[in-house]
Structure 1
Amino acid sequence: MTVFPDDHRDGDLNGPEGGGTPDPLERLLRPPAEFLAVPPGAFEQIRRRATRRRLLRAAAGGSAAVAVVAGALYFAGSPASGGADERVGPPASQTRATSPRPATSGPATHSPTARPTDGSHTSRPPAGGPGTVTSPAGTGTATPSPSDTGGTATPMCTADQLTPSLGGGDAGAGNLYRYLVVTNHSATACHLAGYPGVSLLDDAGRQIGRPADRDPRSYQPVVLQPGASASDTIHTANQMGTCQPASSKLRIYPPGSRASLVFAGQVTICDDQFTITPFTAGTTGNPPS
């Protein structure tokens, strides 16, 4: 009997499914199936798509991180500025000084000045240019009108125009007062307004203790013609409490000046009392004695 290849699928006993011997012609009549070849460039396209997806995911992650950081900065807020009351510091040492306050009515007399209770000290000399008066702490820096400066057209005295020295003094009731005098040795007039920065130095030029605090008093600009002098008063305790070593020199910063003047002078700070008054005319301190 003739057997055709299709008869194997119909369950012929001679076919493979019926347990018979496979027809040798089946390999010729039914060749093995061939798979289609991969289209050219398919793998490169898949790689490009995968790379594009990775880049998109990375970009999305970076955008999310930026958004989180921006949100944190927004809620945290930017650091507050230091305000307009910053003062220029001395180049060599830190000079602390309190700010002037309006004086009360009545004549001014020598008396021990109470130290600040908040422990704060301004560690820099008064800032400002010619005719600038520093306002009380915490209220900013005020620039006076021409009437506040006495209507003077003279410039602020510079350190190069001044010769400093220690004048006389006074003592009583446990207090000691020394007069700090500056003289205009230049050929042109100038004026001083306010407080100098004052600190004490030893023989090696090292600062002794802290700089002088400011004794709150009202003041007016002092015009110094060539050869004229102005003065203020250094106040400390008279050999009471704990005393620091006596100074060999003093360093002062004239009002509004970034340059300092160093000169010989002996002052002893006792009982942690060390204040300075604003400049006034003459050589006998403020108030004049």
Structure 2
Amino acid sequence: MAASIGLLAVATAACGGGGGSGGSPASAREGSGGPASSAPSASAPVESGGDGAPSVSSAPPSSTTPVRSAPSAGQSGTEQAAVASSRCTADQLGLSLSAPDAGAGNIRYDLRLVNKGAGACALRGFPGVSLLAGDGAIIGKPATREGEQLPAVTLAPGGTADVTLHTLNRGIKGSSCWAAPSLLRIYPPGSKDAMTLRTSKPVVCGDTFTVTAVRSG
């Protein structure tokens, strides 16, 4: 009996050692390319919405390319040059008056302004023009504006710009005329200082006395 019991114990021990050396079958399959692991993948994280579902944005990516604004349509090259130059002042300008140009009852004179300064200057707009008697009194009324505003004119040293003075022949609009002037007084556009030119023209008739904007001479 004792021998039988000892023999059974040895057989049991042998069976236990064989199970330990074989290991767990499940463990053996995982280490040798068995079923895929259930661990999270290494893909990029997905942003989820408030209900836990993935949130996908449909908005296109914003552009970072700066947008250049176009130049203002109201600014021409002449205007920009005029801004860069200083305004012509009365003390740097000279004056001359052309002979009358008569036609169809109208009389026109070109009044020329010349830059006597050492640097460029600019003129834009309508000058103020009045006729003066010998004692400085104003004859009639200052010239009113005729025509539209024109682009600025930049005058290099010695450069010229013109305006036109306009009146009527006697009898075209009534029979009255103003007295002949002794002086022509001109305020350049934008200036509070006046210039004078000794002349007996124009003789204004029909209460018509106008001046145009400065244009290139």
1:157-214 Cα distance to aligned partner (Å, 9 max, x none): 1111101121233101111001111100000000100100000011111110000000
The structure carrying a bigger strand percent of its residues is: 2
2:144 aligned with 1:209, yes or no? Answer: no
1:147 maps to 2:76: yes
From 199, 203, 215, the counterpart of 1:268: 203
Q: Helix, strand or coil: the match of 2:91?
A: helix
- Rounded to whole Å, the distance in 2 between the matches of 1:203 and 1:239 is 23
2:100 and 2:216 map into 1 onto residues whose CA distance is 16
Match of 1:257 among 181, 191, 194: 191
Contact 1:159 1:260 in 2 (8 A): yes
Tell me the amino acid that sits aligned with residue 115 of structure 2. N
**Amino acid of the structure 2 residue aligned with 1:213:** T
Taking the aligned partners of 2:165 and 2:77, their CA distance within structure 1 comes to 25
- In the TM superposition, residue 147 of structure 1 has moved relative to its aligned partner by 3.1
Q: Which residue of 2 aligns with 1:281?
A: 216
| Shift in Å, 1:146 | 4.5
Which stretches in structure 2 are left out of the alignment for 5+ residues?
1-72
User: 1:281 deviation in Å?
Assistant: 1.1
Secondary structure at the residue paired with 1:160?
A: helix
Q: Which residue of 2 aligns with 1:132?
A: none
Which secondary structure does the structure 1 equivalent of 2:125 belong to? coil
The equivalent residue for 2:180 is 246
When Rg is computed on C-alpha atoms for both structures, the one with the higher figure is 2
State the distance in 2 between where 1:181 and 1:200 align.
16
Amino acid at match of 2:112: V
Paired position in structure 2 for 1:65: none
Q: What are the equivalent positions in structure 2 for 1:91-106 lying under 5 Å apart? A: none
Q: Identify unmatched segments of 5+ residues in structure 1.
A: 1-143, 283-289
The count of aligned residue pairs is 139
Instruction: Say whether 1:176 aligns with 2:107.
Output: yes
1:145 CA drift (Å): 6.1
Indicate conservation of the 8 Å contact 1:148/1:220, yes or no: no
Give a deviation string over 1:251-283, Cα, whole Å, max 9, x none: 01000001000111221110000000011111x
**Where does 1:164-203 land on structure 2 (aligned, <5 Å)?**
164-203=95-134
**Residue by residue, what CA displacement relative to the aligned partner does 1:21-55 show, whole Å, maximum 9, x if unpaired?**
xxxxxxxxxxxxxxxxxxxxxxxxxxxxxxxxxxx
Hey, what does 1:109 align to over in structure 2?
A: none
Distance in 2, matches of 1:251 and 1:267, equals: 12
Aligned residue runs from structure 1 range 131-142, under 5 A: none
Please give the secondary structure, in 2, of the residue aligned with 1:168.
Answer: coil
Shift of 1:148: 7.4
Find the residue that maps to 1:151 and give its secondary structure. helix
Aligned to 1:227: 158
User: 1:229-271 deviations in whole A, cap 9, x for unaligned?
Assistant: 1111000011222101111110010000010001112211100
Structure 1 counterpart SS, 2:79? coil
Give CA deviations for 1:61-90 in whole Å, capped at 9, x if unaligned. xxxxxxxxxxxxxxxxxxxxxxxxxxxxxx
Change over 3 Å in CA distance of 1:188–1:196 after alignment to 2: same
Deviations 1:84-137 (A, max 9, x none): xxxxxxxxxxxxxxxxxxxxxxxxxxxxxxxxxxxxxxxxxxxxxxxxxxxxxx
Percent identity reads 45
